Every structure is written in structure tokens, then in C-alpha cells.
Structure 1
Amino acid sequence: MSSSPEGQQAPEMPLIEHLLELRNRLLKMVLAVIICFAVIYPFANDLYLLLSQPLRDLLPEGQMMIATDITSPFFAPLKLALVLAVFAAIPIILYQLWSFVAPGLYAHEKRLAFPLLFTSVILFYGGATFAYFVVFPLVFGFFTAIGPEGIIELPDIASYLNFILKMFFAFGVAFEIPIATVLLILTGATTPNDLAAKRPYVVVACFIIGMLLTPPDIISQTLLAVPMWILFEFGILFGRLAYKERQDTDEEELGSQ
């Protein structure tokens, strides 16, 4: 698409050109996932061992994980490699989405949209990293310590994979709260002062979401709820800055008319 003057949108393209460009962008996204999968799959077993390390470190000596389904030793690493390929391709996927919608944005919207996209990727990865290094050791330590005596824990590899992927997704999405907060403010759906006034309700909602998205123990629920609340406060802080910039931009546009 051709570049547009400052503060203006690019000329509209015919619908068929939009659809063709969307198809090309989607093909590039799929190709990025396939390439990442091809790179990751040879190391799928090693990656599974790495991700299961927090639990295996807590199992009594001599105990190990098991596969209760005959296909699990093949499909569990395969599923892990595919999910990790999507995670690894997220920057490329978001870049393609950005390239598709950017020509339709005003200049001041572009200045905000790209940093938000970049920050959302960092926050998602940060949430998954927080889950692995902080949440998993505490949660698995809790579960392995409360079992009745005489019960031998032999975690199934497929069940464990489903559990950690759910936790990665829950914490990755939860860490996007600042982005959601800033977007709500930028779109005019709310204001920083309105969000700050609703802080008590947000804190309660964080703990409810933590209860729904994590195992039924107070440790993992708190470890998700507290970061969500802190990130909400950061969202309000950056939202105030974005709100002020938006007001300044609107005043400049009115002054230039």
C-alpha cells in the first residue's frame, strides 16, 4: 500500500485486493508456524523433559512419570512442539496482522499501536515465564506434599502437558491486562479515573478469575490474582499517559482545522 500523509489514512483498496492481501498474510503466518515446528520438533522430547523438570524434581527418588495411553509418548511431545511453534511464531503473526491493519490507521494511532503489539508479546512471554519459574515449583510442591501416605504419585505425561499448557495460557493472557486497560482508555470506553474508582471490584474479580483458571488451591490462585492486580495498576498508570497524549493530539487536530 502507498504511504499516506501525516495524520491521514491510506487510500482505500478494492475489496478483492484486501482479501488477497489477507490471504497472503495468513499464508505467511501458517508458514512461520510450520518452519518453527520443523525446527522445534527434533528437540520435542528434550523440551518435554525440561518443562516437566519442576514436577520431576519433587517426586520421590525412584518415581517417574508414566504414559497411560499407548500413543502418549508420541502425541504428547508432538502437541508440545506444535504449541511451542505457535508461541515462537507469535511475533511474526502479530507483525503480519499489524502490516494488514496499519495502512487503515491514522499516524497517531500507528505510534501507539505498534508499541502495544510489541509490549503484548513481551507480557505474554513474561506470564509464561513467571508460571514456569515461580508458580510451578510452588503448586507442584503443594500437590506432592498433601497426598495421603501410601499413595505413589505417577503423573501421566499427557495430563501433565494439558495442565502446564493451560497454566501457560492463563498466565500469558492474565499478563495482558495492562494492554487491555490502555486499549479501553484509548477507545474511550472508560477513563483512568473511572478505572481507579472501580479498584475494589477489580481486586475481587482478579481473585475470582484466579480461582477459575488455576487448580483449587490458594497458592496458585493468589499467584495469579496478585500479579493481575499489580498489572492492572500499571495499566492505569500507562493509561493516564496515553490518555493525556490522546487529549493533546485531539487538541492539536482541532487547532489545525
Structure 2
Amino acid sequence: MSRDPSEGSDGEPTDADEQRADRQDSEDSRTEIVDLDAEDNAEPNETDAFDATGGTDDESEAAETEDESDDSGEAETHADGSTTEPAEGADEAEETTDEPEDTDEAEETKDETADTGEEAEDTDEAEETTDEPEDTDEESDTETPESETETTPIERKTGPAEDQEQPLTEHIEEMVKRVAVVVVIAGVVSLLAFPYGEEFINFLWYSVLPSDISKPHVYHPLELVVTQLKAASLLGLVLALPVFVYETYAFMRPGLYPHERRYYLAAVPTSLVLAFVGLLFGYFLILPAVMTYFLQYSRDVVDIAFALGQTFSLMLVLLGFLAVVFQIPLFVMLAIMMGLTTRTWLEERRLIIWGVFLAIAFLFSPDPTGMAPFLVAVTMIGLFEGTLLLLRWTGRGNG
């Protein structure tokens, strides 16, 4: 019976047997490590991607250790036929015994990465929550300019510093209020002057008409009262003209430069003076000329008995119209001084302006014969040309 050369002479295990036993133990420990890794990989974890990469690293390391163990496990054959394992086998066994510590370290790194993954998710959620107020801030920033364009006005670049753009509704509301002020003042003055209407009628009637004309005739019950109200309204119109000029100034004041404001303020008393000049012009020139024409036209045909209401209405309309007509020089001067137009521009279009004056005169004068409208149109043209002549003489308004 042949004897295994690896056994000793007495049948006791040799060093080779002990090395094989150690190698078997190392292989068992490796299988246990692989089983532990398989269990860890089977458990669900929030950082699967990281574990997957980590697992591949561990498997590669295990494969390398197995290759090293296989290489080191090859026995050296001696001359006598006996085989001995190299000394590196013991070192490899020690390395395999140390591998469980590496697995503990791997598990610790896995736990740390899981914790870091959770912290990263928490930080991402925190950043998302912090980004949401920024979005709300951006929305508020995008919404605030719209509210500011609705409530706050925008300054004009070419106008005065006080000039600010406003909605059209506010302009209309302000204009209606200022016109209402003019109407209220004219109405109050008319009511105060109403008790003196009869004296004014007698004064104007006998001043304009010849002395041989009989007293005015009344043809319906309220004719005298209505005529008194018309006479009082004439005084209210005259006194409301400067108020009208001032209200137009107040309406346009934010858009006026300081020198333009001075012109407008100076126009307020000037308007009142021009209105009284227009009344005097009508009283001394226009009314006598018109009434004389009417008397000569009808005296040889019929007996004259003028009605109070119609005759006095003609007088009042002419006087009030002339009070407004005499504002033409003021309006022309203001337009030129404020830079709205120039004297040269008006002179080049004077024929068009004359035609407009003539149309207005025939439209508002209550005389179908054309005498009164003609006299009023001549007066308007004379005032316009006189203003241009004055501007030419002073060298103003040549833009």
C-alpha cells in the first residue's frame, strides 16, 4: 500500500494539510462575505444607485482577491516529488480574515452615503421651498409695475416738472367741474341782477330807439318777466367771462410753463375789460346802426309797435355776442405767446379765418336781413387784423 507523500511518517498531518485547511477556511469566509453582500443588496435602500456602484467595486475587489488566492494557492513541486505551498498563503489567509473588517467599513460607508443622500434630499427640498418665495417675489415684482401704471401717473419728458399724465376720465371730470363753476357764478349773478331788470330794460330801450317810438308792447303774460331774466343773464354772462378764463387757466396750469402761467393770469382782468369794451361798442355803434336800419326799412309801410320780448332779445344777443367777440385779441395773443401758433401762420391763412368769422356771425346773429351779421363779422375781422398789426409793430409772435 502506497503512502501519501503529504502525510508524515507516523500518519500525522503535515504542513501541507494545515495550509489546505487554512485555505478552506478562507474560502468559507469569502462565501460568507458574498452572502452578506447579497443580503445587503437585496434590502431596499434610498441610495440604490450608490450601492450599485459600491457593490461592483466590492465584487471587483473580491474577484481580485480570489485571483490572488488562486495564484498563491498553486503548490511548488520539489525534486523529491513533495509539494509545498508558498509562504504567501499565510499572508493571504490573514488578508481574508481581515476582509470582514472591510465589509464593516463598507457598511459604515453605505450608512454614511445613505445619510448623506437623505441630507441631500432634505437640502434639495429646502432649496425648493426657498425657491418658491423667490417665485412669489418675482410674481409680485412683475405685478407691481402694472398697479403703478394704473394709479401713479407718468411724467412727461417735454413738459414742465408739474405736468403729469392722467387718465382721460379724470380730465373730463375736472373739466365738467370747472364748467359747472362758471355756470353757477353766471346763474348767481343773474339772480342777483333780476330785481333790477326792469330799470335796465327801460334804459336800453329808450337809449337805442328814437324818441318817437312808443313804449314796448307785451303780447303774452310772461313776456316782461322773461325779458327781465334775459337782461339779468346778460350781466351774469359778462361777469362770468373772466371766471371762464381763470377756470381754463386752472385746468391747463399743470401743463404750462411759468411764463405761460403769467400770461394766463394777466388775461383774467384783461378778459373783463374787453367784455365791457364789447358792450360799449355794441351799445354806441352796433345797436343804433341796426335799429336805424330796421326803422327805415319799415317806417313808411306800417305803424311801428315793437314787441318787448323779440326786440329786446335782439339787443341782448347782439350785446352778449359782441362781449365774446372782443375776446379775440386776447385769445390770439395767448396762443402766440404760449407757442401754439405764430403770427406768420395766421397771416398766411387769414382768408380762411375771415370765412370762419363770417359763418359764425350769420349763425348766431338773430337778423335774417343780414345787416347785423355783416356788422358783427366786420368787427371780428377788424379785431383779428388789429391784433396781428400790433404784433407786427412790436415784433412779437414771429416764431
TM-score strictly above 0.5: yes
Report what 2:288 is aligned to.
137
What is the CA–CA distance in structure 2 between the aligned matches of 1:189 and 1:98, rounded to whole Å? 15
Note the residue ranges of structure 1 that are not aligned, 5 or more in a row.
Answer: 1-6, 248-257
The equivalences for 1:81-160 within 5 A come to 81-149=232-300, 151-160=302-311
Note the residue ranges of structure 2 that are not aligned, 5 or more in a row.
Answer: 1-158
Report what 1:40 is aligned to.
193
Report what 1:229 is aligned to.
381
The answer to whether the 8 A contact 1:131-1:167 is kept is: yes
1:243 and 2:397 aligned: yes
Q: Structure 1 residues 9 and 167, CA, compared in 2 at 3 Å: closer, same or farther?
A: farther
TM-superposition CA deviations, 1:156-175 (whole Å, max 9, x none): 11101221122123323332
TM-superposition CA deviations, 1:86-111 (whole Å, max 9, x none): 32233234323323432331112212
The equivalences for 1:176-255 within 5 A come to 176-185=327-336, 190-199=341-350, 214=365, 215=367, 220=372, 223-239=375-391, 241-243=395-397
TM-superposition CA deviations, 1:173-209 (whole Å, max 9, x none): 3323323433554566653234334456656766666
TM-score (norm 2): 0.49
The answer to which of 157-166 and 94-103 deviates more is 94-103
The answer to whether the 8 A contact 2:263-2:334 is kept is: no
Q: Structure 1 residues 205 and 238, CA, compared in 2 at 3 Å: closer, same or farther?
A: same
The answer to whether the 8 A contact 1:59-1:153 is kept is: no
The answer to whether the 8 A contact 1:76-1:158 is kept is: yes
Count residues in correspondence. Answer: 237
- Matched letter for residue 133 of structure 1: F
Q: Structure 1 residues 34 and 170, CA, compared in 2 at 3 Å: closer, same or farther?
A: closer
TM-superposition CA deviations, 1:27-59 (whole Å, max 9, x none): 64454334423421111111111222234x415
TM-score (norm 1): 0.72
- Matched letter for residue 41 of structure 1: F
What is the CA–CA distance in structure 2 between the aligned matches of 1:224 and 1:203, rounded to whole Å? 12
What is the CA–CA distance in structure 2 between the aligned matches of 1:194 and 1:25, rounded to whole Å? 31
SS in 2 for 1:146: helix
Q: Shift in Å at residue 144 of structure 1?
A: 1.3
Report what 1:169 is aligned to.
320
Structure number with the bigger relative contact order (C-alpha 8 A, sep ≥ 6) is 1
The answer to whether the 8 A contact 1:59-1:144 is kept is: no
The answer to whether the 8 A contact 1:182-1:242 is kept is: no
- Matched letter for residue 42 of structure 1: P
- Matched letter for residue 78 of structure 1: L
Report what 1:53 is aligned to.
206
The answer to whether the 8 A contact 1:48-1:77 is kept is: yes
